[in-house]
């Protein structure tokens, strides 16, 4: 089963953990050289950040690619290629999940709610956002469903609009909820260093 396969790959990864400023930071190094870094709220275990880094054809490490979390828009910083300086007037796309839903926010969209159309494209395995005034178009995938090899379900999709922000929610399938619960149990086994301890300890 694909869900089990993804969990097994997480279990097999070399993991280090650090507790700092109320956040539990976990770094995964997979056998194929890929890296994943996550940040969780220490008290709620809510996922705050997930990013990936892979080696290029020459074996050099690439830039971090942000999957979950708010992009840093202030020029130089530590997150790499997602640090794109954007005008405050341009739409800003970010993902910030809840316990029960994958959730995306697109800021600086001033149009009323009835202008937006949000739908699932089954063949392309993505979500498409359109406006009837043709002022905005966005297509994005849900990597979690791809990793678990789960179908996209139109009925799980909903959206709201407030304060010039379009909020798109996709209810997490029960398989994903179960996998996330299992992962939290797994992460409790990882020896966690505190920021004052210096380097993270490896599992």
- The per-residue pLDDT for range 142-168, each reduced to its tens digit, is 999 999 999 999 999 999 999 999 999
Per-residue confidence (pLDDT) for residue 195, from 0 to 100: 67
Per-residue pLDDT tens over the stretch 37-87: 999 999 999 999 999 998 877 778 789 999 999 887 654 444 444 444 445
**Does the pLDDT at position 93 exceed 50?**
yes
Q: How many domains does the chain have?
A: 1
Among 164, 59, 68, CA closest to 111: 164
Answer yes or no: is 96 within a domain: yes
The pLDDT value given to residue 198: 46
- Position 192 scores a pLDDT of 80
How would you label 52-69 residue by residue, b for 16+ Cβ within 10 Å and e otherwise?
A: bbeeeeeeeeeebebbbb
Contact 116, 104 (CB under 8 A): no
Q: 3-state SS of 95-112?
A: ECCCCCEEEEEEECCCCC
Is residue 66 in some structural domain? Answer: yes
In a domain, 118, yes or no: yes
Two tokens, residue 63 = 């830039």
CATH code assigned at 187? 2.60.40.790
Q: Are 40 and 183 in contact (CB under 8 A)?
A: no
Residue 45 lies in a domain: yes
CA distance 62 to 13: 19
- Predicted local confidence at residue 2, as pLDDT: 63
Asked if residue 56 is part of any domain, the answer here is yes
DSSP assignment letter at 115: G
- Residue pair 123/107 in contact (Cβ under 8 Å)? The answer is no
> Considering the domain boundaries, does residue 174 fall inside one?
yes
Domain extent, residue 184, equals 6-70+88-194
In a domain, 80, yes or no: no
**pLDDT computed for residue 5 by the predictor:** 86
- Residue 27 within a domain: yes
CB burial string 177-188: b at 16+ within 10 A, e below? eebbeebeeebe
pLDDT of 109 reads: 96
Q: CA–CA separation, 67 vs 140, rounded Å?
A: 11
Average pLDDT estimate for 100-114: 96
Rounded distance between C-alpha atoms, residue 166 and residue 78, angstroms: 27
């Amino acid at each position: 089963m694909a869900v089990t396969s993804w969990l097994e790959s997480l279990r097999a990864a070399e993991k280090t953990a650090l507790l700092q400023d109320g956040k539990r930071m976990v770094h995964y190094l997979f056998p194929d050289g890929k890296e994943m870094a996550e940040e969780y709220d220490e008290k709620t275990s809510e996922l705050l950040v997930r990013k990936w880094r892979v080696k290029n054809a020459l074996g050099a490490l690439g830039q971090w690619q942000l999957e979950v979390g708010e992009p840093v828009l202030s020029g130089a910083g530590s997150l790499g290629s997602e640090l794109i300086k954007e005008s405050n007037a341009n739409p800003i796309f970010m993902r910030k999940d809840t316990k029960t839903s994958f959730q995306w926010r697109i800021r600086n969209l001033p149009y009323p709610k009835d202008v937006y159309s949000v739908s699932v494209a089954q063949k392309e395995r993505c979500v498409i956002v359109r406006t009837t005034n043709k002022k905005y178009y966005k297509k994005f995938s849900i990597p979690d469903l791809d990793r678990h090899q789960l179908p996209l379900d139109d009925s799980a999709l909903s959206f709201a609009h407030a304060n010039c922000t379009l909020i798109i929610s996709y209810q997490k399938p029960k398989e994903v909820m179960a996998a996330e619960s299992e992962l939290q149990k797994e992460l409790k086994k990882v020896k966690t260093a505190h920021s004052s301890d210096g380097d993270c300890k490896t599992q």
